[in-house]
Chains A and B, each alone.
Chain A
Amino acid sequence: MTLARHEPFPDIARQREADRFGMVVFLASEAMLFGAVVMGLFALRTFEPAAFAATSQRLNLVAGSVNTAVLLTSSLLVAIGAEARASDRAALAKWMLAAAAALGLVFLVIKGSEYVQEYGEGLMPGVGPRQDFATPGARMFMDGYFIATGLHALHVTIGVVMLAGCAWRLRGDDPPSIVGVGNIGLYWHLVDIVWVFLFPILYLSR
């Protein structure tokens, strides 16, 4: 079932352009949201750069690196899935999107394990057995870390649900439209780009 022509649009091609353009404009607003958090982190960093670097070292770099690779790979799978849907190879598209959703889950699991580890080490501000913050700057870093990665994890969860939904619908006879799969792909790639910026800022400012 290709996309039905909606009321206000004279022809289907223009409607596809509009849907995709609308998604890109919405993703621009999402980028501004994460950009504001990152700029806030940079501003706070100028107060105590040493504390930021010290606390960044206490994060689990291996988990962060693996997570980045996981997201990059899932981005590739989504790109291939979108290509497959565009060339009407529904089976390939289905598997690709399902795999991407699975990798998204892997990301969330790794992220969750990091949070548990930080909870135990007392790095979670205001929560947990003990508070192990040497300086206010360390606490600021961890506040920023939880805000940024929390918001990002929320967006990853939404993405995983949408990818899984798409894969499920591709299985049946009512596949999502090409533009629909393309838009979910755009969303997933933006979530990946946000992590591409968050990873060095949080994990590598050692």
Chain B
Amino acid sequence: MSRAGMHDAAREDLAPLRTEAEAASYLGGDTSLKAWLTTTDHKRIAILYLITITCFFAIAAVAAALIRLELLTPQADLLSAEGYNRAFTIHGIIMVWFFLIPSIPNVFGNFLIPLMIGARDLAFPRLNLASWYIFVFGGLFTLAAIVFGGVDTGWTFYTPLSSTYANGNVVLALAAVFIAGWSSILTGVNFIVTIHKLRAPGMTWGRLPLFVWTHYATALILVLATPVLTVTLLLVAAERIFGLGIFNPALGGDPLLFQHLFWFYSHPAVYIMVLPAMGVVSELVPAAAHKKLFGYWFVAYSTLAIAFLGFLVWGHHMFVSGESMYASTIFSFLSLIVAVPSAIKVYNWTATLYKGSIALNAPFLFAMGFIGLFVMGGLTGLMLALLAIDVHVHDTYFVVAHFHYIMVGGAVTAFLGAAHFWWPKMFGRMYNEVWGRISAVLIFVGFNVTFFPQFLLGYMGMPRRYHVYPPEFQTLHDISTAGAGLLGLGYLLPLIYFLYSFRHGEPAPVNPWDATGLEWTVPSPPPEHNFEETPIVLRDPYDYPLSHDSSLR
């Protein structure tokens, strides 16, 4: 099952390069395995990341399926307590660090940032390939942890459970995340320097597409927050191996210090996952409506505001953990402020649609899905930031539903929207539009059937990470599992028709959506060096004059 790292020949059976566009593109040229594994072309590295994270998504999705099936009945019949604990831990670790964090930045960020700013490649191409190898090396540690029996600490590794009482191979999992952390830091450095130093002449900050703005903010968080995680996990590993006592209360340490340092990274990490998704939607909505984005500068500055404010709010994960109540009040107030920029973005997307000429293709359905689910996730997050409510619903299924609405409803939906929007540009083939719309609707419905009942479960007091629960929660769990089946089917569809498009999709035009942006001015798939000569940028982003609108032609 585990194909991470090794180049997966089955998936890579590119159709015989019939179209001459493909032959001249970055997909042409030397297509040997060695060429692919030693490439420094940002577009090929993006494809390598796409293959690797798809494999990791598959593994974590199997774990999710096991969890949902186990919860069909109040008793523990499919998985034992041990099995269940390890299933949700692996689901958490792989989904957070090996799918969500690298998904949009490392695949679409890698592929599109140079194209969008008129550069030939990222600032440090070899560092880009090195970060993929480090990511895969970390992935091997995760697979080793699974093969040797898994971990039973939850993806949060709370001490003293993870440092002294857990007996799964915790150190392997800690090493995996430690190494994957360095891959994130190197990607962050690469993006920051590229966006500053490699913009084409005329590409001022005011003319940057918002996709680049959000990846700039994400790169800032990647570089500044990840080191704190790596040193914290290093301390936990040191406690397990050398018996140090920083977080071990028996030796005089403080378990809350671990939670502080862990969440100081992990809350900005959720913004690493959602900001690129916002960038994708900020591209899809104007392209859908063929209209300028409403309030460009408000959205751009709210992106940077989210990146900075994201560092101030981590304490709202610890309201009931024994943190001083004054600190909890401060963190609760700061968490309200961080919600404001997100609200600005959502309202600006909606306002962009006013008086646009909207084509409801698959990518735009995914973008609408994102906006709907992200609003639900964001506002329930605000609910959790209120002290008295959090005391009741902390560590219950309410929290599980909240972060799945943001991560799955938000980041994964936007990832699929991006996949549909830029697939023609990346592979030069059109996917089947009808199936695309079906899968978008199916995923939206499946998602809501899966996770909305979990809000009710959480309010009713069903705690997290339980495989055995009181019988009165069974009906809601059964609805949720049924929804999970639908959602799983919804995720399989794109896999099928995207692979199908490799062989049978008709060649994609240069600009299938009539969208603005430098990436739509190069042939699809783009040539090895992106631009024959560096473009001069004169126009503002998203300048869709209505005459440009195909409906009037």
By a beta-carbon cutoff of 8 Å, the part of chain A in contact with chain B is 6-10, 14, 17-18, 21-22, 25-26, 28-30, 32-33, 35-37, 39-40, 43-44, 47-48, 125-127, 135-137, 139-140, 143-144, 146-147, 151
Chain B 284-295: CB-based contact to A (< 8 A → 1; otherwise 0): 000000000000
Interface contacts beyond A29-B188, A135-B252, A143-B253: sample of 17 additional A-B pairs, CB < 8 Å, sorted by A:
A8-B120, A18-B124, A25-B223, A26-B189, A28-B223, A29-B224, A30-B227, A32-B224, A32-B227, A33-B228, A33-B230, A36-B228, A39-B261, A43-B257, A139-B252, A140-B252, A146-B244
Known contacts A33-B227, A33-B231; decide if A7 and B121 are in contact (CB<8 Å): yes
18 A-B contacts, Cβ less than 8 Å apart?
A7-B125, A8-B119, A18-B124, A18-B193, A25-B192, A29-B227, A30-B227, A32-B227, A32-B228, A35-B228, A36-B227, A40-B257, A44-B253, A126-B243, A136-B252, A136-B253, A143-B245, A143-B253
Distance in angstroms from A145 CB to nearest chain B CB is 11
Chain B residue with minimal CB distance to A32? B227
On whether the beta carbons of A8 and B125 are closer than 8 Å, the reply is yes
On whether the beta carbons of B252 and A40 are closer than 8 Å, the reply is no
> Measured between alpha carbons, how far is A18 from B264 in the docked complex, in Å?
29
> Measured between alpha carbons, how far is A10 from B230 in the docked complex, in Å?
36
Known contacts A8-B119, A25-B223; decide if A147 and B235 are in contact (CB<8 Å): yes
Known contacts A7-B121, A18-B198, A36-B261; decide if A25 and B189 are in contact (CB<8 Å): yes
Q: Chain A residues with Cβ under 8 A from B534's Cβ?
A: 10
Q: Chain B residues with Cβ under 8 A from A21's Cβ?
A: 192-193, 196-197
Distance in angstroms from A13 CB to nearest chain B CB is 10
Distance in angstroms from A190 CB to nearest chain B CB is 13
Count of chain B residues with a beta carbon within 8 Å of a chain A beta carbon: 44
Distance in angstroms from A35 CB to nearest chain B CB is 8
9 A-B pairs with least C-beta separation: A136-B252, A33-B227, A8-B121, A126-B243, A18-B197, A36-B228, A32-B227, A22-B193, A143-B244
Tell me the chain B residues, 180-235 only, with Cβ under 8 Å from chain A. 185, 188-190, 192-193, 196-198, 223-228, 230-232, 235
Chain B residue with minimal CB distance to A125? B244
Identify A140's interface contact among B231, B235, B253, CB under 8 A. B253
Chain A residue with minimal CB distance to B229? A36
Q: Chain A residues with Cβ under 8 A from B478's Cβ?
A: none
On whether the beta carbons of B197 and A17 are closer than 8 Å, the reply is yes
Known contacts A36-B228, A36-B232; decide if A29 and B223 are in contact (CB<8 Å): yes
On whether the beta carbons of A44 and B244 are closer than 8 Å, the reply is no
> Measured between alpha carbons, how far is A10 from B238 in the docked complex, in Å?
46
Chain A residue with minimal CB distance to B230? A33
> Is B165 an interface residue, CB under 8 A from the partner?
no
> Measured between alpha carbons, how far is A63 from B212 in the docked complex, in Å?
50
Q: Chain B residues with Cβ under 8 A from A144's Cβ?
A: 246
Interface centre among A22, A44, A48, A147 (most CB of B within 10 A): A22
> Is B114 an interface residue, CB under 8 A from the partner?
yes
> Measured between alpha carbons, how far is A9 from B529 in the docked complex, in Å?
12
On whether the beta carbons of B224 and A28 are closer than 8 Å, the reply is yes
Distance in angstroms from B374 CB to nearest chain A CB is 29
By a beta-carbon cutoff of 8 Å, the part of chain B in contact with chain A is 40, 114, 119-125, 185, 188-190, 192-193, 196-198, 223-228, 230-232, 235, 238, 242-246, 251-254, 257, 260-261, 264, 529, 534
Distance in angstroms from A114 CB to nearest chain B CB is 18
Identify B198's interface contact among A9, A40, A136, A143, CB under 8 A. A9
> Measured between alpha carbons, how far is A137 from B227 in the docked complex, in Å?
26
Distance in angstroms from B490 CB to nearest chain A CB is 38
> Measured between alpha carbons, how far is A43 from B246 in the docked complex, in Å?
11
> Measured between alpha carbons, how far is A8 from B253 in the docked complex, in Å?
50
Q: Chain A residues with Cβ under 8 A from B114's Cβ?
A: 8
Q: Chain A residues with Cβ under 8 A from B185's Cβ?
A: 26, 29
Chain B residue with minimal CB distance to A17? B197
Q: Chain A residues with Cβ under 8 A from B253's Cβ?
A: 44, 136, 140, 143
Interface centre among A6, A29, A47, A144 (most CB of B within 10 A): A29
Chain A residue with minimal CB distance to B256? A43
On whether the beta carbons of B257 and A44 are closer than 8 Å, the reply is yes
Q: Chain A residues with Cβ under 8 A from B122's Cβ?
A: 8
Interface centre among A9, A25, A140 (most CB of B within 10 A): A25
Chain A residue with minimal CB distance to B225? A32
On whether the beta carbons of A7 and B243 are closer than 8 Å, the reply is no
> Measured between alpha carbons, how far is A36 from B412 in the docked complex, in Å?
31
Q: Chain A residues with Cβ under 8 A from B529's Cβ?
A: 7
Q: Chain B residues with Cβ under 8 A from A32's Cβ?
A: 224-225, 227-228
Distance in angstroms from A106 CB to nearest chain B CB is 27
> Measured between alpha carbons, how far is A39 from B246 in the docked complex, in Å?
12
> Measured between alpha carbons, how far is A38 from B529 in the docked complex, in Å?
45
Known contacts A21-B193, A21-B196; decide if A126 and B252 are in contact (CB<8 Å): no
> Measured between alpha carbons, how far is A168 from B12 in the docked complex, in Å?
45
On whether the beta carbons of A8 and B257 are closer than 8 Å, the reply is no
On whether the beta carbons of A126 and B197 are closer than 8 Å, the reply is no
Q: Chain B residues with Cβ under 8 A from A139's Cβ?
A: 245, 251-252
